[in-house]
Structure 1
Amino acid sequence: MNILAAIAVSMVLAVMPLISYADDKADVGIMQKKPLIIMDQGSFTVGGRVIKESGTYDESHALSPAGQEKHVDQGYVFYQVPANAKKVSLVFLHGAGQSGASFETTPDGREGFQTIFLRKGYPVYLMDQPRRGRAGTSGVEGTVKPVADEALWFDIFRFGHYPKYFDHVQIPHTKEAEEQFWQKGTPNTGAFDPKLAAQALSAAVDRAGPSVLVTHSQGGLPGWLGAMENGKVRAIIALEPGVGFVFPKEEAPAPLTSSSPFGPLAPYPVEMEEFLKLTKIPILMIFGDNIPEKPSPHGGEDNWRVRLQEARLMAEAINRHGGHAEVLHLPDIGIYGNTHFLFEDRNNGQIADIMEKWLEKVL
């Protein structure tokens, strides 16, 4: 982007009325933001492979795949670099049923992590993992079925007990915000493959340079694996990692049982040599509110009881081997009402500030 285009972008952003973040004791207000100057932006694909069909291409039978190729299983990345950018980039990876759009704008129209961290001076890279969103060209067959399942996810995301929201819950839940949230979801076009996603994530880091991975939920496992693969990863912030807590094979705990509809939570064992790579970088895992300490018959909450427990076990294993991993349960520091979508909750600016202070401490 040339300087004139950058100035034009900043002028547009300067006159846009944007909503400030608020906690559960304050109303969300309208305020003007300072101009945000973007010095560079664009998009690119990462990873992937090429399917090659045998035979010879014949124009008279162009619908036949014989002799043709298909590029598949790539990731997609959109990036922006602010003026006077910090030297370390943030590379974001979404969770299940989501895409990079999760980090753009909140359901009620406030700035998402993309813009919040640009304002903090970080180059921001938003990735759509292979077989999802703008990276939907899959190398394996898949079926997209229109299954009515939003009550299930309402509970899993800890919005409340469907259809009633928890008191003081931080997720915006006006009628319009609900519609925006659910319509932002996007299905897999092929099976989720954590190693494939990790390879694409590593390739994104190669383009971004020294980076902090910011992962969410299902994106946690590709984040761990991607950091093992790429020495340019400087730190990881995992927002409620949901699957694939990694342990050395010889130290993997037994699966944790719960009333979660997804069944027991099994660890993801790796070779000790690979696991030790996680001890070389600082790691922060953040969890929100309404996670029970004891087994609960409510599967949506109990699902996260065992995940928080396993996150602590993983952090203990990393630290036992000389690393630096932390688990932050927000109610422990007096922050309440946060859901699985910390970056879309009404206090997402407060969460971003916590992340920024941690990064300033460890980098």
Structure 2
Amino acid sequence: MPATARAESQAVDCTGINAVSPKCSTNETAYFRDFFYLGGRYLTTSSGNLTFDQLYVEKLTPALGVSQPKPLVFFHGGAVSGVTWLNTPDNRKGFASYFLERGFMVYLVDHTSVGRSSQMDTADYVLWNTTTAEGVEAAFTAPELAAAYPQAVNHTQWPGTGIKGDPYFDAFRKTVIPFTSNWTTGELSMRASACDLLDHIGPSYLISHSSGATYSVLLSNDCPQNVAGNINLEHSTQPFWNYGSTLNSGSAIRPWGLANTPLDYDPPITNASELVVEIVGNDTLALRNCHLQAEPARQLPKIASVPYLCITGEASVHATYDHCVIEYLKQAGANPDWIKLADLGIHGNGHFMHLEMNNLEIAAVVEGWILKTESSQP
């Protein structure tokens, strides 16, 4: 057999999950890894004390050393885990590698109830996973096919076809795992455990995706002295409301505005019912109306004290309602930054932008904001 033919016959398929083969090389950046569990509490049962609410944390130290003054802590979105920040479904470098190469200490967490922080399926932690393969296609990997909102047709950045059977879709779909549907319990445990983490590592930049943005908001409320900046890739903290796919549809949630558990408003309130809510704007599929405070709005001084950034993709459904969080924060006394990627010439991104083909361009946007914010500190 000719040498060329032998080489072709021995070629290794390293697409998607096939890259698990020892014959496939890695694109990841060299780092040292440590793991820890922080927070947690004992729950007394008839058979003894069980441990609940512990938070799994990976500490990634760049092999070439740390050159940046403050660490980064990454909070994943719903139905995935901290691995979302590592390599992408098509085996390219993820956000963790990007920032490790630039000298940042990186911390990855699995939210309490998820992944290696999973809890027992009790009345406190009711596990929930309604994200079907079809739902993943429609919402994240191929929204342009259903086009439930006008911006969806601009989606071009997901690797591969984004539908079942594609190796990159299948690799991503296998990362979708159950998480708790008890938002109150989940938030309370993360407030305690994640502030414990920040107490140990000091002021840090928090980088969150989707529903993970709830936790960075809560930490800005509870331990703002340790939050150097709050960076959100499409914050899923729409005030008071989850939007449906048709006009004037959805469901009430987050009665405290940006969360399901208490925030420190000024003037103070003891019950979420004291917040007066009004609907602002006409509801269209391209631009949803907002559920905001009626004026004069109560302030959120602790949250407002933390520098805030939201980044929104051109083709994501978040392009239709991310403005509502920005408006709510302004009402509450904050001065949030909002970067719409299309305004920077970065086009075609959906909700999981940190996994898409231009993910490192987006990481560079995040880095630029961090460096700008850091340079403005006294």
TM over 0.5: yes
* Counterpart code for 1:289: E
Q: 1:290 aligns with which of 315, 324, 327?
A: 315
Q: How much does 1:244 deviate? A: 5.2
Partner of 2:135: 152
- Count of residue pairs the alignment pairs up: 299
Query: What are the residue-to-residue correspondences of 1:46-195 with 2, within 5 Å?
Result: 46-53=38-45, 65-66=46-47, 68-82=48-62, 83-138=65-120, 140-141=122-123, 149-157=132-140, 159-162=142-145, 166=153, 169-173=156-160, 175-188=166-179, 191-192=182-183, 193-195=186-188
Q: How much does 1:97 deviate? A: 0.1
Partner of 1:238: 232
Q: In the superposition, relative to structure 1, how do residues 205 and 166 fare at CA in structure 2: closer, same or farther (>3 Å)?
A: same
Q: How much does 1:121 deviate? A: 0.9
Q: How much does 1:200 deviate? A: 2.0
* Matches of 2:344 and 2:304, distance apart in 1: 25
Q: Secondary structure at the match of 1:126?
A: strand
1:277-301 CA distances to partner (integer Å, 9 max, x unpaired)? 122221100110225xxxxxxxxx3
1:30-53 CA distances to partner (integer Å, 9 max, x unpaired)? x998x9553x53011122211112
Query: What are the residue-to-residue correspondences of 1:337-356 with 2, within 5 Å?
Result: 337-356=348-367
Q: 1:219 aligns with which of 212, 223, 238?
A: 212
Contact 1:265 1:307 (8 Å CA) reproduced: no
Contact 1:158 1:290 (8 Å CA) reproduced: no
Bigger CA drift: 166-175 or 180-189?
166-175
Q: In the superposition, relative to structure 1, how do residues 209 and 329 fare at CA in structure 2: closer, same or farther (>3 Å)?
A: same
Bigger CA drift: 146-155 or 106-115?
146-155
Q: 1:203 aligns with which of 196, 221, 233?
A: 196
Q: In the superposition, relative to structure 1, how do residues 168 and 310 fare at CA in structure 2: closer, same or farther (>3 Å)?
A: closer
Identity rate, percent: 25
* Matches of 1:202 and 1:177, distance apart in 2: 35
1:125-183 CA distances to partner (integer Å, 9 max, x unpaired)? 00001110000123734565776722223222263245799565111125211111100
Structure 2 unaligned blocks of 5 or more: 1-13, 16-24, 258-262, 267-298
Q: In the superposition, relative to structure 1, how do residues 237 and 147 fare at CA in structure 2: closer, same or farther (>3 Å)?
A: closer
Q: How much does 1:350 deviate? A: 0.3
* Matches of 2:264 and 2:131, distance apart in 1: 40
Are 2:60 and 1:42 equivalent residues in the alignment? no
TM-score (normalised: structure 2): 0.71
Q: In the superposition, relative to structure 1, how do residues 139 and 145 fare at CA in structure 2: closer, same or farther (>3 Å)?
A: closer
* Matches of 1:146 and 1:223, distance apart in 2: 23
TM-score (normalised: structure 1): 0.73
Query: What are the residue-to-residue correspondences of 1:193-342 with 2, within 5 Å?
Result: 193-230=186-223, 231-243=225-237, 245=239, 255=241, 258-259=244-245, 263-264=250-251, 268-269=256-257, 270-273=263-266, 275-291=300-316, 301=317, 304-318=318-332, 321=333, 323-342=334-353
Q: In the superposition, relative to structure 1, how do residues 207 and 167 fare at CA in structure 2: closer, same or farther (>3 Å)?
A: same
* Matches of 2:191 and 2:44, distance apart in 1: 23
Partner of 1:27: none
Q: In the superposition, relative to structure 1, how do residues 80 and 257 fare at CA in structure 2: closer, same or farther (>3 Å)?
A: closer
Q: Secondary structure at the match of 2:338?
A: strand
* Matches of 1:167 and 1:178, distance apart in 2: 19
Q: Secondary structure at the match of 1:50?
A: strand
